[in-house]
Amino acid sequence: MSDAFTDKIAIVTGGTSGIGYAVAEELLKRGATVWVIGSRKESVEKAKAAFAAYRNARFAAVDVTVADEVKGMIDACVKKDGRLDYLFNNAGIGMTYPTRHLTLDMWKKAIDLNLWGVVYGVHFALPVMLAQKSGHIVNTSSIAGIIAPPSQAVYCATKYAVTGMTEALRYEFFDEGIRFSTVCPANVATAIFTGTEIPKDAIPASEAAQIILSGVEKKESLIIFPEFVKKTYERFLADPALKERFMLEYARRRNAGWARGVPYLSFPEDLLEMKP
Ligand SMILES: NC(=O)c1ccc[n+]([C@@H]2O[C@H](COP(=O)([O-])OP(=O)(O)OC[C@H]3O[C@@H](n4cnc5c(N)ncnc54)[C@H](OP(=O)(O)O)[C@@H]3O)[C@@H](O)[C@H]2O)c1
């Protein structure tokens, strides 16, 4: 049992699949009351069946791209459970695609969900948490929210925005007792890879959930994982020339992958051995 989560009230958007599902399950195991949110009734019903053993699980179908639905989600939680201790703004979609083939609808879809979904969550949870003088908002960004992989321009636009917004909020509201964390995963084996092969370096969602909750418990600012990607990020900060060489080669691999019709989705750790 964990004091940080026992008897706490949490909302996990995108809680019906992948990383969010694993986080919701772990929170339930640790004694939190968890609102498990998906956008589709079918996914919510499936999660309801899977979590049937937990009396502390609640479920709702909420489209986080619709402000009124997000407001309704927060209102329902506070009405039933009296407070909101943790909001995991986790729902999101991936978009790794050659930018020249992106349509404006694709840009809009990613921005609406990955950015506006988080904005709405923050906007409606903040007054509740400020009134409580406590609360923790955990926004899911990505490694692509701190390193900009080629062929991920739209995804990076959304995830860098989430990282920057969350960091600014962290300091603005610190003295009022509200905590903010940004989650920056590299590849995690989830439905986000539907239609493509899961990258070999992807970690299981259950492992991601353990790392995320450990970081949240410690109230970390950036929760970056897995470790080898975190180390790479730190090396890039110290050695911009290495980063430049690495990213150019990464782009060449991705461009060659598109040309062959086989997307290159792994994190190219071997490129770190490149000589100048
Ligand atoms: N997996 C990775 O490698 C990876 C890496 C870095 C960052 N991330 C980020 O981690 C987060 C979770 O990704 P995942 O890999 O766990 O994806 P996933 O398995 O595809 O799960 C996505 C979740 O988001 C929900 N969702 C989608 N559209 C929604 C909407 N409009 N309103 C509310 N919920 C919605 C889905 O529920 P419905 O099906 O009911 O809509 C589902 O529960 C995302 O923000 C993603 O960008 C993932």
Both tokens assigned to 122 = 């923050």
Q: Is residue 248 part of a domain?
A: no
- The pLDDT > 90 percentage for the chain reads 92
Is residue 74's pLDDT more than 90? yes
Q: How far is the CA of 32 from the centre of ligand 1 (A)?
A: 21
256: in domain: no
How many domains does the chain contain in total? Answer: 1
Model confidence band, residue 69 (pLDDT cutoffs 50, 70, 90):
very high
Inside any domain, residue 145: yes
Query: How much distance in Å is there from the Cα of 14 to the middle of ligand 1?
Result: 5
Give the range of the structural domain holding residue 75, as residue numbers without chain letter. 9-227
Q: How confident is the model at residue 270 (pLDDT cuts 50, 70, 90)?
A: confident
Quick: pLDDT tens for 84-122. 999 999 999 999 999 999 999 999 999 999 999 999 999
* 260 pLDDT above the threshold of 70: yes
The pair phi, psi for residue 139, each rounded to 5°, is: -100, 130
| In the predicted structure, residue 2 carries a pLDDT above the cut 60 | no
Closest CA to 220 of 173, 181, 183, 184: 181
CATH number at residue 175: 3.40.50.720
Question: Is the residue at 239 inside a domain?
Answer: no
Ligand 1 in reach of 207 Cβ (< 6 A): no
Q: Average of pLDDT values for 126-144?
A: 98
Residue 250, in any domain of the structure: no
CA of 190 to the centre of ligand 1 (A): 9
Q: Is the pLDDT of residue 39 over 90?
A: yes
pTM of the predicted protein model: 0.97
* CA-to-CA dists, residue 214 to 26, 242, 244, 249, angstroms: 11, 30, 32, 34
pLDDT at 139: 98
Give domain status of residue 199, yes or no: yes
Q: Which atom of ligand 1 is nearest to the CA of 15?
A: 43
CA atoms of 268 and 190, how far apart (whole Å)? 19
| Residue 265: inside a domain | no
Answer yes or no: is the C-beta of 152 below 6 A from any ligand 1 atom.
Answer: no
pLDDT in tens, 184-227: 999 999 999 998 889 999 999 999 999 999 999 999 999 999 99
According to DSSP H, which parts of 51-181 are helical? 67-81, 104-110, 117-132, 153-172
Angstrom distance (rounded) from CA 3 to CA 8: 9
Residue 96 near ligand 1, beta carbon < 6 Å: no
**Per-residue model confidence (pLDDT) at position 165:** 98
From 54, 155, 250, 264, the catalytic residue: 155
Exposure string of 142-176, with b = 16+ CB inside 10 Å and e = fewer, is bbbbbbbbbbbbbbbbbbbbbbebbbebbeebeee
Q: Is the CB of 41 under 6 A from ligand 1?
A: no
Q: With bands split at pLDDT 50, 70 and 90, how would you rate the model's confidence at 41?
A: very high
Q: Is residue 236 included in any domain, yes or no?
A: no
First to last CA, the chain: 49
- Give residue 276's pLDDT: 67
CB of 182 within 6 A of ligand 1: the answer is no
What is the structure's pLDDT at 154? 97
- State how far Cα 134 lies from the chain centre: 22
pLDDT band for position 261 (cuts 50, 70, 90): very high
Is 155 tagged catalytic? yes
